[in-house]
């Protein structure tokens, strides 16, 4: 009788232990899911990239008609880059979305979308072959994950095989933000200064000058907010890359359930959520 009670107790302890383990596992993977979800949301925000493509044509207001040709040439160059630029957003967004689905133990089932991304990565004109290879490798792996019905057990495989490539793609987006987006802000600020200085110099109307000064300050203030948004967006992308690198390192160490890693990832997630709210409010 005592042995039977003892066996019952042992069985109960085992069941409880398994339940606790499963509960902890889900909690840990939910941290990965939350990080992936906000990363996908940030990558989906391509408004700054679209503004970059359209920027040369919006600047004509500050230039003489004989200078339009140069702006048209820049606009044409950026128009040819548009597919490649937006593809970066789409691949990061799709990858993070699928990573979140695996963390939730959901089946990845979006063959059509991934196949479209794969075709786009073959057609887009990349600045270098390394980035094109990274995009094609990611889309190929995501397509396999979708067609094979990958679930939570394949999360580690996805992270291991994708980390280097996702780092390359994010780096490319950071570079265009720091060099292209911010470069446009600096050029536009100078164009505004020259444009309004010329009008104010030739004007003899005090009320008109006051109005122009007010409008100039409004434009410059708007430009400063855009500059802040670009810097915050660039920083957010870097944090996504850092967070994924941490995930990759802990996958290799088989420590994605460790309290230390979960705490680190939650910090990244919280920072990204805060940054995203700030970006869309600017």
List, for residues 21-40, the tens digit of each pLDDT value.
Answer: 444 444 458 999 999 999 99
List, for residues 175-214, the tens digit of each pLDDT value.
Answer: 999 999 999 999 999 999 998 888 888 777 787 778 888 8
Looking at the 3D structure of the chain, how many domains does it have?
Answer: 1
Q: What pLDDT does residue 28 have?
A: 54
Longest dimension (CA), the chain: 107
Name the DSSP letter for residue 180: I
The reported pTM is 0.86
CA distances from 265 to 38, 135, 198, 239, 257 (A): 12, 25, 52, 10, 11
Long-range contacts of 251-255 (CB under 8 A, 24+ apart): 251/155, 251/156, 251/159, 251/160, 252/160
24 close to 257: Cβ distance less than 8 angstroms? yes
Of all residues in the chain, the percent with pLDDT exceeding 70 is 90
94 close to 108: Cβ distance less than 8 angstroms? no
Nearest CA to 133 out of 164, 158, 96 is that of 164
The position carrying tokens 């505004």 is 192
**Angle made by CA atoms 52, 234, 265, in degrees to the nearest 5:** 145
Paired tokens of 95: 């990858």
CB crowding 203-224: b at 16 or more within 10 Å, else e: eeeeeeeeebeeebeebeeebe
Among 4-18, 62-76, 120-134, 141-155, which is the least confidently predicted range? 4-18
Instruction: State how far the Cα of 181 lies from the Cα of 184, in Å rounded to an integer.
Output: 5
Half-sphere exposure of 203 (CA within 13 A, CB side): 15
10 close to 244: Cβ distance less than 8 angstroms? no
Instruction: State how far the Cα of 272 lies from the Cα of 170, in Å rounded to an integer.
Output: 15
Structural domain that includes position 259:
2-281
Q: What pLDDT does residue 117 have?
A: 87
The backbone torsions φ and ψ at residue 250, rounded to the nearest 5 degrees and listed phi first, read: -75, -25
Instruction: State how far the Cα of 181 lies from the Cα of 21, in Å rounded to an integer.
Output: 47
- For range 75-104, the mean pLDDT: 94
């Amino acid at each position: 009788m005592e042995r039977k009670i003892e066996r019952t107790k042992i069985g109960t302890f085992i069941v409880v232990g398994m339940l606790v383990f499963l509960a902890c596992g889900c909690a840990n993977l939910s941290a990965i899911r939350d990080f992936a979800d906000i990363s996908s949301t940030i990558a989906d925000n391509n408004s700054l990239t679209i503004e970059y493509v359209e920027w040369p044509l919006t600047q004509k207001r500050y230039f003489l008609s004989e200078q339009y040709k140069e702006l048209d040439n820049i606009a044409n160059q950026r128009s040819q880059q548009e597919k490649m630029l937006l593809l970066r957003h789409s691949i990061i967004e799709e990858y993070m979305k699928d990573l979140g689905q695996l963390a939730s133990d959901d089946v990845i089932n979006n063959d059509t979308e991934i196949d479209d991304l794969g075709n786009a990565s073959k057609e887009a004109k990349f600045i270098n072959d390394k980035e094109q290879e990274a995009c094609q490798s990611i889309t190929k792996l995501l397509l396999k994950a979708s067609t094979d019905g990958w679930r939570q057990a394949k999360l580690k495989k996805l992270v291991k095989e994708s980390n280097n490539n996702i780092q390359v793609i994010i780096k490319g987006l950071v570079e265009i933000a720091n060099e292209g987006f911010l470069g446009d802000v600096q050029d536009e600020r100078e164009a505004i200064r020259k444009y309004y200085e010329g009008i104010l110099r030739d004007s003899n109307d005090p009320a008109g000058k006051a109005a122009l000064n007010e409008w100039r300050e409004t434009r410059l203030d708007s430009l400063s907010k855009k500059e802040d948004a670009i810097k915050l967006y660039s920083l957010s992308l870097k944090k996504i890359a850092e967070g994924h690198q941490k995930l990759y390192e802990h996958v290799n160490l088989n420590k994605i359930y460790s309290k230390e890693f979960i705490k680190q990832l939650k910090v990244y997630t919280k920072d990204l959520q805060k940054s995203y709210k700030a970006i869309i409010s600017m």
